[in-house]
Amino acid sequence: MAKETNQPAPQAGFQALISHCKEYGYIFQSSEIYDGLQAVYDYGQYGAQLKKNIRDYWWKSMTQLHDNIVGIDAAIFMHPTTWKASGHVDNFSDPMIDNKDSNKRYRVDHLIEAHAETLQEPAAGTLIAEMEALIARDDYAGLKNLIDSNNIKCAVSGTCNWTDVRQFNLMFSTEFGAVATEGEEDNKVYLRPETAQGIFVNFLNVQKTGRMKIPFGIAQTGKAFRNEIVARQFIFRMREFEQMEMQFFVRPGTQMEWYRYWKEQRRAWHESLGVPAEKLRFHDHVKLAHYADAALDIEFEFPFGWKELEGIHSRTDFDLKNHQEYSKKKMQYFDNDLNEEDKPYGNYIPYVVETSVGLDRLVLTILSLAYAEEKWNREDGSEDSRVVLRIPPRIAPLKLAVLPLTKKDGLPEIADALIKECKGDFHCFYEEKDSIGKRYRRMDAIGTPFCVTIDHQTKEDNTVTIRYRDTMVQERIPMADVRRLINEKIG
């Protein structure tokens, strides 16, 4: 069977993917019955399982396969001083500008970048370079001038009637306790904008109770919240999202070695999950965040272009040092393993290399790689087609569909027995409605890698037909082999 994968133009394909995610129970707009909430999404029955499978794969490779990394689960709410010490209250902001006629707010870099896209080279490149230089110097008046002198207009009002450029803090805040007094800052708490700080404030708890020796890591997965000004591109940029972070605590002076180590490790991890090497690249940061002495992004080629999937940051001792200063609690580590001559320096605040990946961006990575519209000619020359999610079997939400050919003659009972045998090991699905062909197509669209059909021959010789999603090949195998075979394929 000659099968031809028909990948539509990237943007068109992206819209088709978004519709597919909704139609097949992967991702829904949050509060959809109330017309949704911007840049917030809910995961449906298959999306939630896919996300969990990716999270579990990350957690296992970090904590179970490394004997010097342990996992924690810190709270979303943290003492407000945490965010003073981390620099987020003062620095976690983006420059933004409002159009006075439409009242629409823009992130300055997005506004200028969108204008640059309408220009020819070299004008476009020059504009971006000027913008980057101004952002690096925090020169807001310069950015305003750049917008004015290029006559950049608001897409809604069509005017150039702009406010000054201001900083907009991305943290969400709320009040703690029952009484909220106006103007009272004391009970203000933030929804964490990153999970990392939960690790830093627990550094000594974990190091002491786990008797951890440097170098060691603490891993965590969990929700983070950012009031993104322009949230777009589906689950790529959301206001509520999930991070998987690991802080690796090292001896001062060795951080570059570990930075290079984690850079390669993390890239290899993405490849092990099925992301092709040519769809990944490194992007070194020019403007470093307030806490970093080196930083890079692992970028993936999303349907809308190369964008950050994961960040690798050498955070120095910035966070622990500041928590020591603000909390007045020692954050030092006593290093017993140093050479005799280095012993006098054995008491230090560790340096940190961080790996930080967005779980939702990983889900989008996997789905955009998996989605394919295929067409081919049947043997009689007629055309056939399908939409398939080629999700790697190891992380696919459903592993096996068991399909009795008919609803009678004892076939459903045999299917039931097979599901009972397998469901302790992996997710199974039962379906008896519609023709087998239609049922296969539905399973292709959900991304189920294996279908097993129970027919009348099964009653005679205990064999079944197994059908593979990716090749559509079917073969007859003993029913007694199904469970072992699938366990091997997803192992």
Binding site for ligand ATP (CB under 6 A): 226, 228, 237-238, 241, 243, 308-311, 356-358, 360-361
Q: How far is the CB of 230 from ligand ATP (least distance, A)?
A: 10
Q: How far is the CB of 12 from ligand ATP (least distance, A)?
A: 23
Nearer to ligand ATP, 147 or 359 (CB): 359
How far apart are alpha carbons 212 and 218 in whole angstroms? 10
Q: How far is the CB of 50 from ligand ATP (least distance, A)?
A: 16
Nearer to ligand ATP, 311 or 393 (CB): 311
Q: How far is the CB of 310 from ligand ATP (least distance, A)?
A: 5
Q: How far is the CB of 249 from ligand ATP (least distance, A)?
A: 19
Angle ∠(129,229,115) on CA atoms, nearest 5: 35
Q: How far is the CB of 206 from ligand ATP (least distance, A)?
A: 21
Nearer to ligand ATP, 39 or 464 (CB): 39
How far apart are alpha carbons 251 and 342 in whole angstroms? 12
Nearer to ligand ATP, 213 or 223 (CB): 223
Q: How far is the CB of 92 from ligand ATP (least distance, A)?
A: 9
| Tokens 């009970």 belong to residue | 187
Measured in degrees and rounded to the nearest 5, phi and psi for residue 177 equal: 85, 180
Q: How far is the CB of 325 from ligand ATP (least distance, A)?
A: 23
CA dihedral 411, 414, 420, 423 (to 10 degrees): -60
Nearer to ligand ATP, 222 or 404 (CB): 222
Nearer to ligand ATP, 222 or 358 (CB): 358
Q: Is beta strand 400-404 parallel, antiparallel or unpaired with respect to 450-454?
A: parallel
Angle at which helix 359-370 crosses helix 45-59, to 10 degrees, equals 110
- Whose CB is nearest to ligand ATP? 358
Nearer to ligand ATP, 130 or 228 (CB): 228
How far apart are alpha carbons 400 and 409 in whole angstroms? 22
Nearer to ligand ATP, 88 or 483 (CB): 88
